[in-house]
């Protein structure tokens, strides 16, 4: 791993991409599908990573505000690497046959949930899509009905067979023509340029379920790919009530907002609700692929064996990394809440006529760019993105119009990489073309 003085980050010594990066990107193009997405947004070849710093093959050092899309919530940490290495000494593939790491992970996972969710059980998966797909199948198995699932505008739950229907944007569906699960699509409250209140959304759903009966509802507590939209307070509570009154199983998708990202271990905790099913992924394996569904224990009675299958689920290395993440995350939650507020203020105070809204919770912060009463166009966004990486920040965008920059730095990022990052971001968004 790199030995880095964060005071010297970012350090940009070549054009971006530099010559060695261009060489790797060109080779990749020869062998790998032309449909890769991330190398188009982040045109570098990676040499090494350490904590919240990425070194490219040309010797440039970047601030990592991407964290592999909220997968590396504790960065490229030595303690995760060491946990994986130690597990590697004993085993690295065990199916569902218990290992000590598996049981320790399951116990730590349960303790990460509120006291009224201690009788829940876990099904493991590989990806976030896998978890969300399993959660909806679980709801159908429990309800005994293959009926509708209520989902939301802006939602992203993955792109595999059934769950593709729950994901909102058509641009994500080009590679999968399957109709997927039957869904009722509701507006999501709090989206800029739209005007839905919590009451409007509840009315909308109530009307819709009179026509088509629903057995489940799948919601992100903060919209992720949909634009880092924080719904008005009480949204999840209102949904919980609606689900209770209509015998609907409530599934909360914490794949992106969970594992401390918003300053609480699970984002639904802000609303004090008790979901029936929770989906987790991304950071739950500390960067080694793993996802899971945490569900009401009494649902077990309704599940056949086998119910969900997959050779690679809950790999021992992912369990060991995840156990380390679960152990260390509680210690950073207060700082995420506090530094999240600091960042919200810092981004809000940037004097730029293109910032339309700054919003967020903890380390899930969206900076939406707009001009003349509408979103900034994609060409202008591409220019800002290019400038950001050329100035040493790896930062992604999201939202329906792709016009929201999203801060999703590691929860334990060095303060210096926040301060310097905000300065660079300010310089970039104040650029006049």
Q: How far is the CB of 27 from ligand PLP (least distance, A)?
A: 25
- Residue from 58, 64, 133, 225 touching ligand PLP (CB under 6 A): that is 225
User: Is residue 275 close enough to count as binding ligand PLP by CB under 6 A?
Assistant: no
- Cis bond upstream, residue 248 (ω within 30): no
Residue 115, strand partner residues: none
Sheet holding 183-186, edge to edge: 121-125, 291-295, 277-280, 249-253, 214-219, 148-152, 183-186
Q: Which is nearer to ligand PLP, 128 or 227 (CB)?
A: 128
Q: How far is the CB of 108 from ligand PLP (least distance, A)?
A: 21
Site string for ligand PLP, 130-169 (x = CB under 6 A): --x-----------------------xxx-----------
Q: How far is the CB of 313 from ligand PLP (least distance, A)?
A: 13
Residue tagged 């639904």 (tokens): 268
Site string for ligand PLP, 61-80 (x = CB under 6 A): --------x-----------
Q: Which is nearer to ligand PLP, 51 or 225 (CB)?
A: 225
User: Is residue 281 close enough to count as binding ligand PLP by CB under 6 A?
Assistant: yes
Q: Which is nearer to ligand PLP, 7 or 174 (CB)?
A: 174
Q: Which is nearer to ligand PLP, 283 or 391 (CB)?
A: 283
Q: How far is the CB of 258 from ligand PLP (least distance, A)?
A: 9
Contact range with ligand PLP by CB under 6 A, out of 55-63, 82-90, 126-134, 207-215: 126-134
Contact range with ligand PLP by CB under 6 A, out of 19-27, 125-133, 205-213, 355-363: 125-133
- Residue from 10, 75, 128, 322 touching ligand PLP (CB under 6 A): that is 128
Q: Which is nearer to ligand PLP, 255 or 292 (CB)?
A: 255
User: Is residue 404 close enough to count as binding ligand PLP by CB under 6 A?
Assistant: no
Q: Which is nearer to ligand PLP, 87 or 225 (CB)?
A: 225
Closest residue to ligand PLP, based on beta-carbon distance: 128
Q: What phi and psi, each to the nearest 5 degrees, are found at residue 104?
A: -60, -40
The sign of the dihedral angle between the CA atoms of 64, 70, 73, 75 is: negative
Measured between alpha carbons, how far is 274 from 429 in angstroms, rounded to an integer?
A: 40
**Closest by alpha carbon to 73, among 394, 429, 333, 372?**
333
- Tokens linked to 161: 């067979």
C-beta contacts of 235-238 below 8 A and 24+ residues apart: 235/189, 235/190, 235/198, 235/201, 235/271, 236/268, 236/270, 236/271, 236/273, 237/271, 237/272, 237/273, 238/198, 238/201, 238/202
Rounded to 5°, the CA angle 70-72-74 comes to 115
Binding footprint of ligand PLP, residue count (CB under 6 A): 15
Q: Work out the burial of residue 309: count CB atoms within 10 Å of its CB; fewer than 13 is exposed, 13-18 middle, 19 or more buried.
A: exposed
* Maximum pairwise Cα distance, the chain: 62
Instruction: Find the radius of gyration of the CA atoms of the chain.
Output: 21
**Footprint of ligand PLP on residues 184-223 (CB under 6 A)?**
220
Answer whether 20's CB lies under 8 Å from 95's CB. Answer: no
User: Is residue 361 close enough to count as binding ligand PLP by CB under 6 A?
Assistant: no
Q: How far is the CB of 69 from ligand PLP (least distance, A)?
A: 6
User: Is residue 55 close enough to count as binding ligand PLP by CB under 6 A?
Assistant: no
Rounded to 10 degrees, what is the CA torsion of 347, 350, 352, 356?
30
Residues contributing to the site for ligand PLP (CB under 6 A) = 69, 127-129, 132, 156-158, 220, 224-225, 253, 255-256, 281
């Amino acid at each position: 791993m790199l030995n880095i003085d964060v005071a010297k980050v970012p350090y940009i010594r070549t054009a971006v991409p530099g010559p060695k990066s261009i060489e790797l990107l060109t080779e990749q193009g020869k062998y790998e599908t032309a449909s890769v997405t991330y190398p188009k947004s982040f045109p570098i070849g990676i040499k090494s990573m350490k904590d919240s710093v990425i070194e490219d093959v040309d010797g440039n050092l970047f601030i990592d505000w991407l964290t592999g899309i909220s997968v590396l919530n504790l960065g490229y940490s030595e303690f995760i690497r060491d946990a994986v290495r130690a597990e590697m000494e004993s085993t690295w593939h065990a199916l569902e046959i218990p290992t000590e790491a598996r049981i320790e992970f399951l116990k730590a996972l349960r303790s990460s949930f509120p006291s009224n969710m201690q009788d829940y059980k876990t099904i493991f998966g590989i990806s976030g899509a896998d978890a969300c797909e399993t959660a909806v199948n679980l709801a159908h198995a429990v309800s005994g009905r293959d009926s509708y699932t209520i989902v939301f505008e802006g939602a992203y739950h993955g792109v595999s067979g059934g769950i593709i229907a729950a994901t909102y944007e058509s641009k994500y569906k080009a590679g999968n023509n399957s109709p997927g699960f039957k869904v009722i699509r509701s507006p999501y409250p709090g989206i800029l340029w739209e005007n839905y209140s919590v009451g409007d959304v509840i009315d909308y759903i109530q009307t819709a379920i009179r026509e088509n009966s629903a057995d489940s509802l799948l919601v992100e507590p903060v919209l992720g790919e949909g634009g880092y939209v924080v719904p008005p307070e009480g949204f999840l509570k209102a949904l919980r009530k609606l689900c209770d009154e209509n015998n609907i199983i409530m599934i909360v998708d914490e794949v992106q907002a969970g594992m401390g990202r918003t300053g609480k271990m699970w984002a639904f905790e802000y609303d004090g609700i008790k979901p029936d099913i929770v989906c987790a992924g991304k950071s739950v394996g500390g960067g080694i692929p793993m996802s899971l569904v945490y569900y009401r224990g009494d649902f077990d009675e309704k599940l056949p064996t086998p119910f969900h299958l997959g050779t690679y689920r809950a790999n021992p290395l992912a369990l060991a990394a995840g156990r380390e993440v679960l152990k260390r995350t509680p210690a950073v939650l207060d700082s995420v809440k506090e530094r999240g507020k600091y960042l919200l203020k810092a981004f809000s105070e940037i004097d730029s006529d293109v910032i339309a809204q700054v919003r967020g919770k903890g380390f899930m912060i969206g900076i939406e760019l707009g001009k003349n009463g509408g979103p900034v166009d994609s060409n202008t966004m591409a220019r800002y993105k290019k400038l950001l990486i050329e100035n040493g920040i790896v930062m992604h965008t999201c939202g329906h119009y792709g016009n929201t920059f999203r801060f999703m730095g590691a929860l334990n990022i060095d303060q210096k990489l926040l301060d310097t990052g905000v300065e660079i971001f300010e310089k970039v968004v104040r650029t006049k073309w």
